[in-house]
Chains A and B, each alone.
Chain A
Amino acid sequence: MTEPLLQVDSLIKRFGGLVATDQLSLDILPGEVHAVIGPNGAGKTTFIAQLAGELRPDAGTIHFKGRNITRLDPAQRSQRGLARSFQITSIFSGLTVEDNVALAVQAHAGHSFRFWRDARVDPSLREPAAATLQRVGLGNRRDGLAGNLAHGEQRQLELAMALATEPSLLLLDEPAAGMGADETERMVGLLQALKGTVAILLVEHDMNAVFALADRISVLVNGSCIATGTPEAIRNDDDVRRAYLGEDA
């Protein structure tokens, strides 16, 4: 069996009396699309926040590429190849679309204590940024303000920023949140094209998208993982049906 890219072991996170993450263990293999599904309040976003380093777990460990990253901050994890997108669109609205992506490139191109040269015409930042924008279908929106993009386009930009850091694992927190059917379809197409080039942990409510994309699915209920398996196996799992799809599903 291949060595997992990400190994989560017995993760626990409490908020007061509420156990948001409860003994959660999960592996992600290199190159796979691993969907995490679960009813509202199952702790999906809390889980992503711990993987990205924004929240410290109370117990348990996270290993990435064989190294323990449980105590690293978000910037350090990003430097090791972990990228995330946000459920609530997080872009730099007052900068141009290309600036947004070029900053992601810049974050992984050495330190930024460079005070004089014009970074906005630096081909080593701008060319990869333009290429990434092309990849997500925003090639013709480069010079506009990011804040002026339509919602669906902002989600695409969000993805481009994560991709531009050249991650080996992408954490996508509801990439299709708030999208219409057409936009969702386009996003699924984009992610489909990424398959195999980068491992993806996908949190998504749109079940059509999940079943179209995922190699494996983990089901989160009340902060713990009740089942992991292929889409087919999850579809037929009795526990999952009871807990997630409803008693009478």
Chain B
Amino acid sequence: MVLNRRIIVTVLVLIALALLPVLLGGAPFYIGVVARAMILAIAAISLNLILGYGNMFSFGHAVYIGIGAYTVGIFAHYDIFNGFIQWPVGLAVSALIALLFGAISLRTKGVYFIMITMALAQMMYFLGLSLDKYGADDGLVIYTRSEFAGLIDLEDHVTLYYVVFGFLLLTVLGMARLINSRFGLVIRATKFNEARMRALGFPVGRYKLTAFVLAGTICGLAGLLLGNFTNFVNPDMMHWTRSGELIFMVVLGGMGSVFGPIFGAITFLLLEEFLSDLTEHWQIVFGPFLILVVLFARGGIDGLLGRKDRSDD
């Protein structure tokens, strides 16, 4: 591995993330912004698996954030705070919904796939709106975060920060391994030529569905973290515009790159914070910015850092 600009920047970003609470001396606001960025980075990494590597353009990925967060919220609503119950259930439900939605949407391709994933996600959004018991459009306040038998105290915001950071590292490491594994190469090759993969003897559908479920489950993890972090869940988390933001993060950071979604998520949230301080119509600036990125920096941030070609990770 050559020590190039891309690797240096990546390592520096990771070190900065690791040291941030120390550097900021525990200033809750900024730690919060970055923790949130890291949670969304986990979601964006999971989306990148199917979007960037697999060319499955899901426009409903935020649903799994909602499922994870609602799991924490609904359990807490019934005074069940045990994370060892909440978290496995949240991941399992995410996987099941992804299995169902994937089995339906992967029958289609191209723009139809986009529309169906979006429609299924909107269905969940409206389901959330209709759940009067769980706050409908007001959502649920999560007064108590997940408890892990006293092992970890998520109520402490620095601890929560490092839990998020730990999961981010795990996700990145897992993804770095995954994309060069046999499974990962199948997904990546399918992106280039699905008919060829079938002719080579791969039952392509199974692999795509597995990737879809994997992505949904990892995104469910991001949802569990987000519910804990914001102490709050509402249907808005599943709205299609949220899914669109995840796509922005992936594109901004660099599709089909391991670290790209982290750059994308951090940049996205920092821009959002910074621009919304200047004007409440911050999206007027943000929109054109994204168009410029798509037009002139197709590899996203990771591309600008010198990721050369598509076979790079």
A interface residues with partner B (beta carbon < 8 Å): 52, 54, 73-75, 78-79, 83-84, 86, 90-96, 99-100, 102-104, 106-108, 112-120, 122, 125, 145, 161, 165
A103 touches B186 (CB 8 A): yes
B189 touches A114 (CB 8 A): no
CA distance A165 to B240 in the complex (A): 43
Chain A residues whose C-beta falls within 8 Å of the C-beta of B202 in the assembled complex: 75, 107, 112
Most interface-central of B183, B193, B198, B204 (chain A CB within 10 A): B198
Q: Which one of B82-90, B173-181, B279-287 is at the A interface?
A: B173-181
**Total number of A-B contacts with CB less than 8 angstroms?**
113
CA distance A96 to B201 in the complex (A): 20
B185 touches A119 (CB 8 A): yes
B201 touches A165 (CB 8 A): yes
Given A92-B196, A116-B181, 6 additional A-B pairs, CB 8 A: A54-B199, A90-B196, A91-B192, A94-B192, A114-B181, A122-B182
Most interface-central of B186, B201, B203 (chain A CB within 10 A): B201
Total B residues in contact with A, Cβ cutoff 8 Å: 29
CA distance A78 to B202 in the complex (A): 8
Q: Confirm or deny: B195 has a beta carbon within 8 angstroms of a beta carbon on chain A.
A: yes
A115 touches B177 (CB 8 A): yes
CA distance A145 to B311 in the complex (A): 8
The binding surface of chain B is classed by DSSP as: helix
B interface residues with partner A (beta carbon < 8 Å): 177-178, 180-186, 188-189, 191-193, 195-204, 207, 210, 309-311
Chain A residues whose C-beta falls within 8 Å of the C-beta of B191 in the assembled complex: 94
Q: List 6 A-B contacts (CB under 8 A).
A: A74-B195, A92-B189, A94-B188, A99-B189, A115-B184, A118-B177
A90 touches B193 (CB 8 A): yes
Instruction: Pick from B195, B210, B310: contact of A54, CB below 8 A.
Output: B195
Q: A93-B192, A103-B189 are in contact. Are A79 and B201 (CB under 8 A)?
A: yes
CA distance A75 to B198 in the complex (A): 5
Instruction: Pick from A84, A91, A99, A108: contact of B185, CB below 8 A.
Output: A99
B210 touches A113 (CB 8 A): yes
Q: In whole Å, how far is A170's beta carbon from the nearest beta carbon of chain B?
A: 12
Which single residue of chain A is at the shortest CB-CB distance from B308?
A145
